[in-house]
Amino acid sequence: MIKFKIRRQDGDRVWHETFSVEETPGMSVLEALFFVQERLDGGLCFRYSCRGAVCGSCAMLINMVPRLACRTQVSDAQSEMTVDAVKWGALARPVAKVGKDEILIEPLPNMKVIRDLVVDMEHFYELLDYIKPWISAGEEVPEGGNLMSPKVEQKIEAYTNCILCATCYGACPVAGRDETYLGPAALAKAWRFYLDPREKEKDKRARLEAVNNQSGVWGCDVVFKCTAICPKKVTPTQGILAQRRQIPKNKIKNIFNRGKKSED
């Protein structure tokens, strides 16, 4: 039996409840939560869909690290420490175990809790919407399709793998103190469209201008937490820095990037 200490919330009432779950081989944290919901307390709520780390529904804080519950093995989480690290914010990686024999489950930080582990994602989606995350394709589809070199395709692919799970947003210290900050996912997405040769130059420039401020690429603390925790190996920080380099008049501010090779 493994103990899960779960942060519950219903309106203003917040409490922690510990459930004992029968572990089966290869059990994920998501499966453990289903065990609780189906056998112990039908009221426990959390989002889910694919259970295969592609839909991005089940992001939550597991032992203080923002992660997908489906992708996190109970056996791994069990060997980690559950620290009272609220003052540090979310951790970028788990801490090795020293003591307590339970797994701590909490909702994703930096978002309003609706109930239990379900958070309000609307603000996250609005921030994404702000960067106009789409190709402004014309009506005519070119004969035979657009051509693109495999090299360019692979460069963009590093950013299209984002599943919008918001673990990066939950890990981001800037998002924690400034809700106007667009956050790692939206800014990484902005870079994805900048890289795409199918996007028109004027739309690229407009998007770059839209993130050329403290709520955009200049707001980033450059602590790489988002990059460290991304379950799909997307590198938002690198995308943010790359956009800073595209903004000539602000190049002088770009202190974090001195001596690094340009990605152009």
Residue 129 Cβ vs another protein, minimum distance, rounded to whole Å = 6
Residue 254 Cβ vs another protein, minimum distance, rounded to whole Å = 28
Pick one of 1, 96, 147, 252: the residue that binds another protein (CB under 8 A): 147
Task: State which of positions 167-196 bind another protein (CB under 8 A).
Answer: 196
DSSP-derived secondary structure for 94-107: PPBP-S--EEEEEP
Q: Which residue has the tokens 């340009």?
A: 262
**HSE, side-chain direction, 13 A CA sphere, residue 253:** 16
Phi, psi for 62 (deg, rounded to 5): -115, 115
Task: Give me the sign of the Cα torsion angle 144, 148, 154, 156.
Answer: negative
> Which residues are CB-neighbours of 92 under 8 A, at least 6 positions away?
65, 171, 224, 225, 228, 229
Cα–Cα nearest to 65, from 105, 99, 19, 33: 105
x/- track of binding to another protein for residues 107-126 (CB under 8 A): -------xxx-x--x---x-
Binding flag, residue 10, another protein (CB under 8 A): yes
Binding flag, residue 146, another protein (CB under 8 A): yes
Pick one of 5, 7, 23, 45: the residue that binds another protein (CB under 8 A): 45
The smaller minimum CB distance to another protein, of residues 163 and 174, is found at: 163
Q: Which residue has the tokens 């510990």?
A: 18
Task: State which of positions 46-105 bind another protein (CB under 8 A).
Answer: 47-57, 71
The smaller minimum CB distance to another protein, of residues 189 and 244, is found at: 189
Residue 169 Cβ vs another protein, minimum distance, rounded to whole Å = 15
Binding flag, residue 250, another protein (CB under 8 A): no
